[in-house]
Chains A and B, each alone.
Chain A
Amino acid sequence: MIAACDDFAAELVAYLDGELGDADRARIETHLGTCLACRRELEQLRRLRALIDGMRPLELSTDFADRTWQRLDPLPAHAPRRRARTVLWAAPTLAAAAALALVWYSQVARLGGAPTAPAPHSVAAAPRAHDANEHAVASRSEKEQAVAPRENEEGGAPRDVANANDVTEYPPDLVEHPELFLHLPVVRRLNRLEHFEEVRQYQNDQPLGQVSPGTAEVG
């Protein structure tokens, strides 16, 4: 094979593999017709292919399939497994949404006597002591909050109905159009409630996110 034939070296392998286009294959065959060295090279490549092709394929172990199925068996069928994943993901979300809806409905029911809500700034005369009580309740831990209604029932001062209806505790649009609130995603509902709480504290000249010390002892 002369130096010029080096250009054909890579082509010969692809030629044998049947990977050349028509034009390149014709060019190679034309060259092979005139070049003894390249014909010998091609013959050696054919022998090498025969050696590789002559390698006996490995037979599978007799228990290979059984061992494979044993590894697959612990895996649940893919379709039920997919459904199970969906349920696992959805369950806490649905529970949280249901809990939030329940809390909100209970609050709206408590406000049932106020069909139309005045603007927050128009009810500035509402007793501030009650606001402080609400602050304290809101700042308690969940356990304390769970105990609070029982305290009221067992002799603590019952909620002032008038104060309980103080709609300044809720954004007006939520009172007027509760159905819109239910259409909000859970996160946005929480954001709306938190935002309103901050606005209310700001109107009361309280630092945001803080409760005045005197309000923590409400029973």
Chain B
Amino acid sequence: MLKTPKVAAPEPSSDPDVQLMLRFRAGDENAFRELFEKHARAIVNFAYNFVGSRPRAEELAQDVFLQVYRAGPRYEPNAKFTTWLYRIATNACLNEVRRPERRYRTRPLERDTDDPGERGEIALPDPDAISGESALAGRELEARIRDVLGALPENQRAALVLSRVDGLSYRDVADALACSESAVKSLVFRATATLRRELEEFL
């Protein structure tokens, strides 16, 4: 069973980022700049884990902040700002990777199914080509991890990146992905199991 909060969830209005958005809604452009400077790097990295291309990741991040900017006048603090921001970012990234012209770039490692028997195998470079411990921090290993991440089903990838890389709680990930916390738990577990299997030689 997932963790149940011992205290009531904080009101969105107590979120300092929400306060910045409210100031922006009132016409304070500097508040938007503060939000941008605070979250731009995280959103670019989040997008990079989806598209694997810096220029495209930065373009997607710009799209996300353009949406935030345009939504400013009608913003309502219904959730934590980061939850809302990552929801926009997730939708932008999923739309990007689902574009037909991009499909060839992501290899279907496994179908989005609960049946482990339907899992496929990922084509990784020869592990012997990487020199053990020294490679752990190296670019080649990192590229391999990104390859495995990139081959995950989209919702597993989103759940793992949001929780592991961006540090969101399962509850916030569920809000961002519009699913239940138990579904997030399952997605993270399956994504982790795949990474563990594909990167076993480095563990």
Q: Which one, B45, B61, B185, B203, contacts A10 given CB within 8 A? A: B185
Stretch of B76-84, B96-104, B122-130, B140-148 lying at the A interface: B140-148
A17 touches B163 (CB 8 A): yes
With both chains docked as a complex, state the minimum distance between the C-beta of B4 and any C-beta of chain A, in angstroms.
Answer: 5
- A20-B1 CB under 8 A given contacts A13-B192, A60-B41: yes
A14 touches B189 (CB 8 A): yes
Q: What does the 1/0 interface line of B19-60 toward A look like (CB < 8 Å)?
A: 000000101010000001100110011001000001001100
Q: Is A67 an interface residue (CB 8 A)?
A: yes
Interface size class for chain B? 35 or more
Whole-angstrom distance between the alpha carbons of A81 and B57 in the complex? 29
Contacts of A14 in B (CB 8 A): 2, 170, 185, 188-189
A52 touches B165 (CB 8 A): yes
- A45-B185 CB under 8 A given contacts A55-B142, A79-B27: no
Stretch of A70-78, A140-148, A185-193, A197-205 lying at the B interface: A70-78
Contacts of A45 in B (CB 8 A): 192, 196
Contacts of A18 in B (CB 8 A): 3
A21 touches B3 (CB 8 A): yes
- A47-B1 CB under 8 A given contacts A57-B41, A77-B29: no
A68 touches B62 (CB 8 A): yes
Contacts of B195 in A (CB 8 A): 48, 52
Whole-angstrom distance between the alpha carbons of A17 and B200 in the complex? 20
Q: What does the 1/0 interface line of B171-203 toward A look like (CB < 8 Å)?
A: 000000000000001101100110110011011
Q: What does the 1/0 interface line of A54-89 toward B look like (CB < 8 Å)?
A: 111111110011011001100101110110000000
Q: What does the 1/0 interface line of B117-160 toward A look like (CB < 8 Å)?
A: 00000000000000000001100011001100000000000000
Q: Is A51 an interface residue (CB 8 A)?
A: yes
Which residues of chain A in 109-161 are interfacial with respect to chain B, using CB atoms and an 8 Å cutoff?
none
Q: What does the 1/0 interface line of A76-106 toward B look like (CB < 8 Å)?
A: 0111011000000000000000000000000
Whole-angstrom distance between the alpha carbons of A53 and B145 in the complex? 11
A21 touches B2 (CB 8 A): yes
B202 touches A51 (CB 8 A): yes
Q: Which one, B1, B25, B196, B200, contacts A23 given CB within 8 A? A: B1
A10 touches B186 (CB 8 A): yes
With both chains docked as a complex, state the minimum distance between the C-beta of A84 and any C-beta of chain B, in angstroms.
Answer: 12
Q: Is B86 an interface residue (CB 8 A)?
A: no
A44 touches B2 (CB 8 A): no
Whole-angstrom distance between the alpha carbons of A64 and B36 in the complex? 11
- A48-B203 CB under 8 A given contacts A24-B1, A78-B72: yes
A binding-site residues for B, Cβ under 8 Å: 9-10, 13-14, 17-21, 23-24, 44-45, 47-49, 51-61, 64-65, 67-68, 71-72, 75, 77-79, 81-82
